[in-house]
Every structure is written in C-alpha cells, then in structure tokens.
Copies of this chain bind each other. A is one copy, B any other.
Amino acid sequence: MNAFRLWPLMAAAAVVAVATSARAQTDPLPSWNDGAAKQAIVAFVQTTTDKASPKFVPPEERIATFDQDGTLWVSHPIYTQVVYCLDRVPAVVKAKPELAKVEPFKTVLSGNREAMAKLSMDDLLKIVAATLTGMSVDDFRAEVQQWIKTARDPRWKRPFTELTYLPMIELLRYLRASGYKTYIATGGGQDFVRVYSEEVYGIPPEQVVGTAGGTKYGYDKNGRPFLTKEPKLLLNDNNAGKPEGIHLMIGRRPRAAFGNSTGDRQMLEYTKAGDGQRLAMLVLHDDATREYAYGPAQGLPDTKVGTFPQSLYDEAKAKGWVVISMKSDWNRIFAFEK
C-alpha cells in the first residue's frame, strides 16, 4: 500500500482521535456540581454502555423514564396543566353560557383566588372534564399550542416552557447521546404534554406516557374522520399507574427512572427491581431561594403538590435510590439564569 492510498485512512483516524479527545474533555453535565448524584449518573451511563462491562445494556433495552412535574420543570405551587384548565374556563363558558351560573365555573369566573383554592376534588374534576374533553384531538392540540405560547408563570414572568430544569435537560441529552431512549411518564395529561414535549424536552409525542382518557372515532359532516376526547379515564399515570402505564405504552422495564414525589415511588421501585444495573433518582426541592423548598423530607414544609415525605426519603436511602438536592447538586437551575 503506497502513501497515497494510506492517506485517507490516516486522516480518518486522526479525525476520530480528535473527536474522542474533545468528547472526553467536555462535561456533558455542566450544571451539576461534582457530588454523589452526578457521579451516580456518569457511573451508570459508563457501566451500561461499555461493551466490556459485565453490566452492559444492549442499545434497544436502554429505556429511561422521567416524571415531568417537579422533576423536569417547576410544578409549585400549582401544576401548569391546572393553570391551563382554569384559564380555559372563560372560553368553555362562552361556548356554553348556561355554565356561568353553575359551580365550580362561577367561582373560577369570579377570579377570587381564595375561593378557587377551596374548590374540592370533585369541582376540579368537573373543570378538567369541561376543559380537556369534548373537543377533537386536533382542536385540543391547537388550543394548548396557543396557550403555551402566551401563558406566563407569575413568579418568573416567563413562559412555563422556560421553567425547565437545565440540569435535567442536560441529563436527557446525555442519556440520549449514550443511546438511551428517553420517555416522559407523567401524572399529567398525555395529550397535553405531547403538544410541547418535542420542542421543550426533545421527547417526541410517542415517547410521552401520561394520564390518558379515551377517544372516540367519528366523522364530520363531510365524512372526514376525527377523534373526540372523551371523559373516560383509561390510565391514571400516578403511583401504581406509572409502572402499569409504562408496561402498556413501552412494554419494557426502564433501566433508569427519575421522579420527585410519592407519585413516582412505584415507578422507581419497579425500575430498581429489574436485573443488572439500574438507576433510580429523586429530585428533592430544597432550594427556597432559587426555586422552592417543600417536602416534608428533611424537615421541609408539607404541601399538597409533589409530596416528598420522610418515608420516601427513607425508602430511597434503603434501596439505593439517589436523592438529588437542588440546592447542593445543581449550580444552575434554569437556562435563563447566568
């Protein structure tokens, strides 16, 4: 083989060497402080993607599931989707004026936040049914698309889609770059999260598992088929519903799972109970300054949303789940922060 023939091979080898070296030097998780959480992630990825490792996981089995609210974005003091439902009430009442005099719509229209905070679960379910069902799936998608562009979080005055946690976005990208298929497994509405999941998280709609209602196939007056969102619950993707939903939608046990509350407990148990290397992590909201502190694990205040009781903390410690402290493990929380 003469030098001319060898040249392209040598050039290719040099390019590969440079790329490998650049990769090794670039930290895939720059918003994470060095600590047990970051080390656990890196060790898990290295162990499961190194072909020489006894814990190697074939690419097709690399499934990672993420809770959304409180794990990937802010869910305190109120779930974003609940804000959406409340915001939609005026439009619903405009279409059905008789609802204006009926509870709980009357209270929501009044704008009285104290009265709204006292609405019962039954009231909320009525609002959910009126705002999330009864329309075509295409109309629903268009409504959420429009809302998500314009709605703002009251504390940061930014679109909710900017209130994602940068360290978790880095983690999603790192896992994907390592051959993991990333899924959302949310207690929120599957159709709701699917509207923005690709743009916001890089997760396509077909990789969103969430609380799901039935749809009904029918035809419009021109004979064109469409699906209507029905007030019939198929999957309550919370607690035991998470592993059940994961089985329904994915059919494989995750290798890694990430949550932040009791609603994620069973998903993490199920994930860790599989053979070989598994990773289970919980985000602890302990940063009252940069985000919120609630819990009540570690003496943090109790809240209705995203409950992280001491019993969950104890289970995590006993079972080798990794607790992520927002305060100590993350040097940056939001992408918009300097």
Contact = CB atoms under 8 A, between A and B. Distances in A.
Contacts of A247: 137, 215, 227
A59 B266 CA distance: 35
A315 to B, nearest CB: 11
Interface string A61-82: 0010000000000000000000
A99 interface: no
A288 interface: no
A225 B206 contact: no
A217 B205 contact: no
A60 B203 CA distance: 11
Copies in the complex: 2
B225 A243 contact: yes
A243 B270 contact: no
Interface string A8-31: 100110000000000000000000
A224 to B, nearest CB: 5
A194 interface: yes
Given A7-B8, A225-B243, 10 more contacts: A8-B8, A190-B248, A190-B251, A205-B250, A206-B252, A215-B248, A216-B244, A217-B243, A227-B270, A234-B235
22 contacts: A4-B7, A7-B7, A7-B8, A8-B8, A8-B12, A137-B247, A190-B248, A205-B252, A206-B250, A206-B251, A214-B244, A215-B244, A215-B248, A216-B244, A217-B270, A224-B273, A225-B243, A225-B270, A226-B273, A227-B243, A234-B235, A249-B249
Interface of A: 4, 7-8, 11-12, 60, 63, 137, 181, 190-191, 194, 198, 204-206, 208, 212, 214-217, 224-227, 234-235, 240, 243-244, 247-252, 266, 269-270, 273
